[in-house]
Amino acid sequence: MLILECPYCGVKAEETELGAGGEAHLKRYGPGSDDDQFHDYLFMRENPKGVHFERWRHANGCGKWFHAARCTMTMEVFGTYAAQTTEPPQEIKDKITAKRPGWSWREFSDAAE
Amino acid sequence: MKRYSAFAVAREALRYHTGWERAWRSPEPKRHYDVIIVGAGGHGLATAYYLGKNFGITNVAIIEKGWLGGGNTGRNTTIIRSNYLQDPSAAIYEKARSLYETMSQDLNYNVMFSPRGVIMLAQTEHEIRGYKRTAHANALQGVQTEWISPERVKEIVPIINLHGPRYPVLGGLWQERGGTARHDAVAWGYARACSDMGMDIIQQCEVTGVRTEGGRVAGVETTKGPIDCDKLGMVVAGNASHLSEMAGFRLPMESVALQALVSEPIKPCMDVVVMANTVHGYMSQSDKGEMVIGGGTDAANNYTQRGSFHHIEETVRALVETFPMVSRLKMLRQWGGIVDVTGDRSPLISKTPVGNCFINAGWGTGGFKAIPGSGWAMAELMATGHSPLTEEFTIDRFKEGKFIDESVAAGVAH
């Protein structure tokens, strides 16, 4: 059973207390963006076999959205962090690197600019 | 290939069954094939079969990382129906259902197709309107379905509780020619027929890379060495995103776990398939007597072929209120498979950004019923570059806004 620690209220919540919100760090492009960018934002998904970043909501708790770093191959949780960020904090990236040397994900939205 | 027949059974009975031959060969890969299909599940094998049967292309390899039919083909709840709302879906699922009717004769392999009938229960006012609309759409599409009253539902399924604690049964969408088939036999039958046509089924051979030259596919790297090909078909269900990444393009889909479970075998009690979509569970009885039960997918991405316990609880709770007798059943086995779900809950059967590379994926939670139609259409697409059945199922449809939205009509399990 999946257990995630809510970074806001500190509760270790199991899956039935949470709502899944899909892939994290999707960038919604602004005015002037082209069709491809908007298509990718709406439909393209990373769907990685391994390290993944997701949005979750502590639905039956404090009600807030947060992010989680997880492995889709082993169901291991690397950590959770606040939603007010465009990429995972360095601390989470370091934790993942320690366990999955050489891991990669798509470029984070800020890094891509 | 020796044909299976009543005479063959009698002949082998007289000589201690020493004359049966292997159903398919297990060859080492050649250096080059005209067509490579990645994935020896139902859809991959059916694609290869119709490439050979309909287009005479037999220099084909079907590459499988595990064992033949060991993915979702061997993990589903074997339900066959074609009562979809949208025209492109109804066309391909009805093609598949009609091919199932003659598949045993066609393959000379008993796939135990049982057109026992499928009911989708309406348990809210919204569902009544939705299913009546689907019944009208099906009438125009030439798919035989009908709207039936709660009394008729009770007549067909005596064990049902029409007045459940949460949702009453208000009627149902009835497809009399829907049913079930033996899922393993579908894969085995196609494999035997493919092998007989001279195709190579290469198991325990994982694709580790896709080679391209000048924007066209040139071959694949595998754990049994490189293999060249003129055309490549990717038919790997839940792992499609992973494989497409090797070829350098992304797909609009995510992979999640879908679970099923079976009870202990009991005496015959229900001779149709019942789907209860509002409460989220569906059930049929296998020929062995086990109640075969399915429910919804997990919410989060997953490649482990395991599901989460609370979804089993949700499914069983739904079935206990619909069929009170289920509360006395012991459950024997539970398993999960990885299904690939697109934004509009419809599959991709399409050309890709890489030349001569084709994809067949995104069947989500309902791929088994589509196997023969999917293989038929995919073979036509790969052989001729065009298939009327696949026209709408392109990868580009999301960009165009031409969705084939089955998220409501496809029923349970999304």
Q: In what order do the strands lie in the sheet with A19-23?
A: A19-23, A51-57, A65-71, A77-82
* B241 and B259 assigned to the same domain: no
Rg of chain B on CA atoms, in Å: 21
Structural domains counted in chain A: 1
Q: From the list B241, B250, B308, which residue is nearest A1 (CB)? A: B308
If you average pLDDT over residues B87-113, what whole number do you get?
97
Tell if the CB–CB gap between B255 and A47 is shorter than 8 Å.
yes
Q: Could you read off the pLDDT of B152-162 as tens digits, one per residue?
A: 999 999 999 99
CA distance A90 to chain B (A): 23
**Which pLDDT band, with edges at 50, 70 and 90, does B283 fall under?**
very high
Q: Which domain holds residue A89?
A: 3-26+39-99
Residue B282 pLDDT > 60: yes
First to last CA, chain A: 38
Q: Does the residue B92 lie in any domain?
A: no
Structural domains counted in chain B: 2
Q: Could you read off the pLDDT of B162-184 as tens digits, one per residue?
A: 998 899 999 999 999 999 999 99
Interface check for A70 against chain B (CB to CB < 8 A): the answer is yes
**Which pLDDT band, with edges at 50, 70 and 90, does B279 fall under?**
confident
Q: From the list B304, B308, B398, which residue is nearest A43 (CB)? A: B398
* Predicted pLDDT of residue B34: 98
Please say whether the dihedral angle defined by the alpha carbons of residues B84, B189, B288 and B316, taken in this order, is positive or negative. negative
* Structure tokens given for B346: 């419809």
DSSP class of B408: T
Residues with Cβ < 8 Å from B309, sequence gap 6 or more? A1
Tell if the CB–CB gap between B301 and A52 is shorter than 8 Å.
yes
* B290 and B392 assigned to the same domain: no
* B355 and B306 assigned to the same domain: no
Q: Which domain holds residue B278?
A: 118-181+254-342
Please say whether the dihedral angle defined by the alpha carbons of residues B73, B77, B81 and B84, taken in this order, is positive or negative. negative
Which of A93-107, B226-240, B301-315 reaches the highest mean pLDDT?
A: B226-240
Contacts of A22 in chain B (CB under 8 A): 254
If you average pLDDT over residues B66-93, what whole number do you get?
96
Q: Does the residue B139 lie in any domain?
A: yes
* B123 and B64 assigned to the same domain: no
Residue B413 pLDDT > 50: no
pTM of the full predicted structure?
0.94
**Which residues numbered 375-404 in B keep a CB inside 8 Å of some CB on A?**
398-399
* B260 and B150 assigned to the same domain: yes
**Which residues numbered 308-327 in B keep a CB inside 8 Å of some CB on A?**
308-310
Tell if the CB–CB gap between A47 and B304 is shorter than 8 Å.
no
- Whichever domain contains B156, its CATH number is 3.30.9.10
- Measured distance CA(B209)–CA(B229) in Å, rounded: 13
Please say whether the dihedral angle defined by the alpha carbons of residues B218, B208, B253 and B414, taken in this order, is positive or negative. positive
If you average pLDDT over residues A27-35, what whole number do you get?
88
Residue B7 pLDDT > 70: yes
Q: Does the residue A104 lie in any domain?
A: no
**Which pLDDT band, with edges at 50, 70 and 90, does B410 fall under?**
very low
* B20 and B47 assigned to the same domain: yes
Residue B408 pLDDT > 70: no
Q: Does the residue B21 lie in any domain?
A: yes
Question: ipTM score of the complex?
Answer: 0.91
Residue B235 pLDDT > 80: yes
